[in-house]
C-alpha cells in the first residue's frame, strides 16, 4: 500500500477547466507565511524545458509538481514545525524512518523510488488527493486508513528524501493529474494581470513573493555557506579585538539585476554601507561584506541590515544586532 501511495506523480499537461466546488485547501503547516516560512517553489507551468510559476515568474524549476513551503534553516527542524492536513479526507499511506540528510550526490542512490522521503498521502474524494513530502524522521503521526480533518497534525517539517533544504512539498492531483492549487482552472500558462484575486483552491490565497530575504547576520568573519543554511552562525556578542565585522544576507528567488544593500551601524555611526548588483539567478544564495578591525572596536550595540531590491521595489529587509563589551 505504501509503495502505491508514494508512486511518482506523472508530469501531465494542465487541463481545464478544473471543477473545484466543495474542495479547498488551508495552509498545510504552522508558520507565519512570509516571516517564519516562505513558498520557495511553485508548480512548473511551462510545458517545455524551462520553468514558470503561475505568475509568469521563475520561482519554480523544470518539472516541479508541487508547492514547497520552506522554513528558514536546518535549525528550525529541531524546533518542530507542525504539518497539518490541508483538507479533510482518508489517509492512503504514510512513511517514516528516513533520515533528514536531504539530497546530495552521496545520498542520491538510496533515494531512488523514495524521493518523497517521510510523508503522507490523503484521498479527499471526487478524485482529489494531496501528498505531503520531506517530513521529519519520527514525526509522522497518522497511518493508512485514518480519517483526518482540515488542520489535523500529520507530523513535522523536515529534510528527508530528495530535498536540498528543509521544507514541506505539497502536491495536489485530481484523477492522477497534477493540479496547480494557485491556478487550477487554467491551461498551461500564468496570470498575466498579477492580481491574484482568484484564490484558486485555497480557502485563503497565500501571498505571493517572488524573492526575498531569509536571514541576516553579524559575524567576525565570512561564514561558511553550509553553516548559514544550517542556522548555526548567529552571534549575540563579539570581543572588542574581533578581527573583522561582517554582515551577510541569506536570500531566495534572486534574479539578475536585483540589488542587495548591506550595512553595519555602530555606537559611533556607520561602520559599513555597501550596495551590490546580483549577477546570477539563484533559488538560494548569500552575500557578505565586512571591514577589518584597526585596534579595538568601540564598545556598545552594533546593528546589521540587509535589504533586497528588484528595480524600485523592496523585496525584503531584515536587521540583527550584537554587543561588543
> What is the model's pLDDT at position 189?
55
pLDDT for position 14: 43
Question: Cα separation of 274 and 13, whole Å?
Answer: 45
Which pLDDT score, from 0 to 100, does residue 81 have? Answer: 97
Contact call for residues 41 and 61 (beta carbons, < 8 A) = yes
Cα distances (angstroms) measured from residue 35 to each of 195, 215, 318: 22, 10, 10
Q: What is the pLDDT of residue 21?
A: 63
Correct CATH for 212-324 of 2.70.98.20, 2.60.40.10, 3.40.50.720, 2.60.120.560: 2.60.40.10
Q: Determine the Cα–Cα distance for residues 166 and 230; give it in Å rounded to an integer.
A: 10
Pick among 2.70.70.10, 1.10.150.120, 3.40.50.9100, 1.10.150.20: CATH of 2-178? 2.70.70.10
- pTM higher than 0.85, yes or no? yes
Residues of the chain with pLDDT under 50: 1-19, 193-194
Rounded Cα–Cα distance for residues 166 and 75 (Å):
9
Which pLDDT belongs to residue 188? 52
- Start-to-end CA span in the chain (Å): 61
CA pair distance 143, 94, nearest whole angstrom: 6
pLDDT in tens, 181-201: 999 976 555 555 445 567 899
pLDDT (tens digit per residue) in 78-100: 999 999 999 999 999 999 999 99
pLDDT, tens only, 275-297: 999 999 999 999 999 999 989 99
The domain spans of the chain are 2-178, 212-324
pLDDT of residue 181: 96
| Cβ count near 322 (within 10 Å) | 19
What number of CA atoms fall less than 13 Å from residue 203's CA on the CB side?
Answer: 11
How confident is the model at residue 186, as a pLDDT?
66
Closest CA to 65 of 2, 14, 136: 14
Scored b (16 or more CB within 10 A) or e, 134-152 reads: bbbbebbbbeeebebeeeb
| C-alpha span between 53 and 254 (Å, rounded) | 15
What per-residue confidence (pLDDT) applies to 261?
Answer: 98
Amino acid at each position: 500500500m505504501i509503495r502505491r501511495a508514494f508512486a511518482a506523480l506523472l508530469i501531465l499537461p494542465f487541463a481545464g477547466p478544473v471543477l473545484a466546488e466543495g474542495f479547498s485547501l488551508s495552509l498545510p503547516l504552522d508558520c507565519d507565511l512570509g516571516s517564519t516560512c516562505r513558498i520557495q517553489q511553485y508548480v512548473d507551468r511551462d510545458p517545455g524545458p524551462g520553468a514558470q510559476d503561475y505568475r509568469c515568474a521563475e520561482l519554480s524549476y523544470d518539472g516541479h509538481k508541487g508547492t514547497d513551503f520552506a522554513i528558514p534553516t536546518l535549525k528550525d527542524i529541531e524546533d518542530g514545525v507542525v504539518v497539518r492536513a490541508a483538507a479533510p479526507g482518508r489517509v492512503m499511506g504514510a512513511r517514516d524512518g528516513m533520515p533528514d540528510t536531504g539530497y546530495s550526490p552521496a545520498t542520491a542512490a538510496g533515494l531512488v523510488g523514495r524521493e518523497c522521503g517521510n510523508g503522507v498521502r490523503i484521498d479527499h474524494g471526487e478524485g482529489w488527493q494531496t501528498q505531503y513530502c520531506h517530513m521529519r524522521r519520527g514525526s509522522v503521526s497518522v497511518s493508512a486508513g485514518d480519517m483526518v480533518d482540515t488542520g489535523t497534525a500529520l507530523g513535522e517539517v523536515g529534510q528527508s528524501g530528495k530535498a536540498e533544504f528543509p521544507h514541506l512539498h505539497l502536491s495536489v492531483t485530481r484523477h492522477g493529474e497534477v493540479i496547480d492549487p494557485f491556478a487550477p482552472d487554467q491551461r498551461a500558462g500564468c496570470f498575466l494581470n498579477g492580481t491574484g484575486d482568484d484564490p484558486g483552491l485555497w480557502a485563503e490565497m497565500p501571498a505571493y513573493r517572488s524573492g526575498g530575504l531569509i536571514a541576516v547576520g553579524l559575524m567576525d568573519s565570512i561564514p561558511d555557506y553550509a553553516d548559514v543554511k544550517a542556522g548555526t552562525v548567529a552571534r549575540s556578542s563579539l570581543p572588542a579585538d574581533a578581527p573583522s565585522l561582517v554582515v551577510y544576507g541569506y536570500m531566495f528567488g534572486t534574479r539578475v539585476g536585483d540589488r542587495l544593500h548591506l550595512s553595519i551601524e555602530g555606537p559611533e555611526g556607520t561602520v559599513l554601507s555597501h550596495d551590490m548588483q546580483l549577477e546570477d539567478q539563484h533559488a538560494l544564495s548569500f552575500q557578505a561584506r565586512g571591514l577589518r578591525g584597526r585596534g579595538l572596536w568601540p564598545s556598545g550595540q552594533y546593528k546589521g541590515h540587509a535589504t533586497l531590491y528588484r528595480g524600485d521595489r523592496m523585496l525584503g529587509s531584515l536587521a540583527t544586532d550584537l554587543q561588543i563589551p
